[in-house]
A = this chain, B = another copy of it.
Amino acid sequence: MLRIALAQMRVVPGRPDRNVQTMLKMIHEAKTQDVNLIVFPEMAIPGYLLGDAWEQTAFLEDCEAYGQEIIAASQGIAVMFGNVAVDWAKKNNDGRVRKYNAFFTAQDGQLVAPEKTPYPFTIKTLLPNYREFDDTRHFFSLQKLAQELGVATENLLAPIRLSVRDTIYTVGCLLCEDGWSDDYGLSPMKILREKERPDFFVNISSSPYTLGKNDKRHRVFSRRAAETGAPLLYVNNVGIQNNGKTVYTFDGTNAAYDSKGILRLSGAPYEETTQIFDLETLSERRSVTIVDEPEAAPIFRALSYGVHLFLESIGMSRVVVGVSGGIDSAVAAALYARVLPPENLLLVNMPSVYNSETTKGLARRLAENLGCRYATVPIQPSVELTIEQLEHATIENLFDGTTERLSVSSFMAENIQARDRSSRVLAGLAAAFGGGFTCNANKAETTVGYSTLYGDQSGFLSALADLWKYQVYDLARYMNEFVYKREVIPQETIDIVPSAELSDKQNVDKGQGDPLYYPYHDYLFRAFVERWQKATPQDILEWYADGTLEKEIGCAPRLVEKYFPTPKSFIDDLERWWNQFSGLAVAKRIQAPPILAVSRRAFGFDHRESQNGPYYTKKYYTLKEKLLYTP
């Protein structure tokens, strides 16, 4: 019998000390339960998303030293774990020391090395270098090592032999992407299977959560296990890690697939837990049913977990949320209220003359429903002082001795209000309250920069900026129904027209709101950002001309003709938002707060962009011409 523990540990990025402490504790517990093999995730010791901390020699030495502690702790048990492996005698292509993303196996205080390979550990073969992944920046792949040594990659792929009570188990060791080989023209799992028929495979991962990824993993890994005819064990960490601009939750969800590809064990998402089982009886366990749930359920799980751990990681325990009575700030407040005790949450309404009694009432009602702290800080006196100061400032023209004054337009006054709320009131209140203030922007606004820099775009974290507007509404309804099980977010907040209320043209009581048609623009913008091959105006216009636009972008049928009666109105709208998306919105995103990622493409490090301005292709202009001037 081989008793295995899959350790769904919380990995704290950049903290080998804390991670090794967790691992030692879990190893100790596993021993008390007669476990023969405990498996930890990829990069369990250093963490995975560390930016360029991989360039710190002392940090690398430290990770090695902590790795030795785990090896030493493997007396009477086998331990598999991910760590950075350094070959101090070799270099990476950047001239820095050679680093591998490595899979170590230790038993009885010794490393168990794969046979006929240059190192006593397994090296990650396939290094992801897309989305938020930067593996090739820091690590040398097994593929590159093979090229360097002048051998085929196949020759360097070997299983390890684990001896437990006189039985020898052949184990195929994989690191994360090694199991996702479809686009690499080389499958480590297939090679290992053909070479050695391992008794089972272990995939150690550090895989950020995004919507739908678990479903895809189940499909892929279940198929792989069945093809191979050997159990496949998947171990992933929990916790949060970030690349500066983009914050990821890690949901763990360890999994054990039997040799038929049936899921027999699964770790609860976002919990630090261990799954213990006997390999020989894995396929006798009841299969795990994957629960069907609305999209808002995993979104809420990811966001509440992410917010909770982000606050913990930056040492912040008190939060201020500016609440307008509108949907985004209400959802943000309801989210933070699940994470913080009511006395640590302060909601602030900051009315100007443009805010309706309706929304002011809704803001207060929200706070009452949440039972937290609440304050009203009017911005009118300060906004008036600012406008008057700006308009009365004497500009001396030192080149000719004349003087002049500037004037403040109503558009400028809108931005003055937004900045007054965030940079003056919220930032000041948050400091006095001993915490930070939130950014409540959604993904549609973020896409086109429908926000004010140093105004509503500010905050310590954008918890909702990876949600399209419809997902914000879904989340509001989900929280009322399933999380709070009562109307915490007032139904009227869900029902009123979304509006910034920054001028008398944005009167919610008259139904005047944002310039965005969310049921269409959510999907148009998603096509700009989230399609694997990104859509541009050329694609959009081609689909429009073909009558396939709604289908391609996934919005409701016949929306386009409803909003845009003529090709001209359609094109004007398209160019307006494309210009914003690739123009000023980029400048705003550069200075935006970190975003909590849930989608398959979040702004920030996941979606890299240059401030280059909008561009239209030749074909776009031809098609536009045709659409506009064909009778």
A residues in contact (CB < 8 Å) with B: 13-15, 17, 47, 49-53, 55-59, 61-62, 65-66, 91-97, 126, 128-130, 134, 136-137, 143, 146-148, 153, 182-185, 241-245, 313-314, 342-343, 346, 367-368, 370-377, 381-382, 385-387, 389-391, 393-399, 406-409, 412, 415-416, 419-420, 422-425, 427-429, 431-433, 453-455, 458, 460, 532-539, 586-587, 589-594, 605, 607-613, 615, 617-620
How far is A369 from B615 in the complex, measured between Cα atoms in Å?
Answer: 41
**9 more A-B contacts (CB under 8 A) besides A389-B425, A422-B423?**
A93-B184, A137-B608, A146-B147, A314-B611, A371-B398, A393-B429, A406-B429, A423-B423, A590-B594
Query: What 7 pairs across the A-B complex have the smallest Cβ distances?
Result: A423-B423, A94-B130, A58-B538, A14-B612, A406-B432, A51-B609, A62-B617
Of the candidates B57, B535, B592, B619, which one forms a contact with A539 in the assembled complex, judged by CB atoms under 8 Å apart? B57
How far is A160 from B412 in the complex, measured between Cα atoms in Å?
Answer: 59
Interface secondary structure of A, over-half rule: mixed
Contact B432 A407 (CB under 8 A): yes
Shortest distance from the beta carbon of A140 to any chain B beta carbon, whole Å = 11
- Closest chain B residue to A537, Cβ basis: B58
Of the candidates B148, B244, B419, which one forms a contact with A609 in the assembled complex, judged by CB atoms under 8 Å apart? B244
How far is A372 from B143 in the complex, measured between Cα atoms in Å?
Answer: 60
Known contacts A58-B617, A59-B615, A143-B147; decide if A610 and B51 are in contact (CB<8 Å).
Answer: yes
- Closest chain B residue to A134, Cβ basis: B608
How far is A533 from B244 in the complex, measured between Cα atoms in Å?
Answer: 21
Indicate the member of A243, A395, A455 with the most B CB atoms within 10 Å. Answer: A395
Contact A586 B244 (CB under 8 A): yes
How far is A490 from B617 in the complex, measured between Cα atoms in Å?
Answer: 50
Cβ of A594: which chain B residues have Cβ within 8 Å of it? 590, 611
Cβ of A371: which chain B residues have Cβ within 8 Å of it? 398-399
Contact B390 A373 (CB under 8 A): no
How far is A342 from B395 in the complex, measured between Cα atoms in Å?
Answer: 13
Shortest distance from the beta carbon of A1 to any chain B beta carbon, whole Å = 38
Cβ of A245: which chain B residues have Cβ within 8 Å of it? 590
Contact A372 B390 (CB under 8 A): no
Cβ of A419: which chain B residues have Cβ within 8 Å of it? 423-424, 427-428
Known contacts A58-B538, A610-B244, A617-B61; decide if A126 and B93 are in contact (CB<8 Å).
Answer: yes
Cβ of A92: which chain B residues have Cβ within 8 Å of it? 183
Cβ of A65: which chain B residues have Cβ within 8 Å of it? 618-619
Known contacts A422-B454, A612-B53; decide if A377 and B393 are in contact (CB<8 Å).
Answer: yes
Shortest distance from the beta carbon of A367 to any chain B beta carbon, whole Å = 6
24 A-B pairs (CB sep. < 8 Å): A13-B612, A52-B608, A53-B534, A57-B534, A59-B536, A61-B617, A62-B618, A94-B183, A129-B137, A147-B147, A148-B185, A244-B608, A244-B609, A371-B398, A373-B395, A375-B393, A376-B393, A377-B389, A382-B385, A382-B386, A386-B428, A408-B431, A419-B423, A419-B427
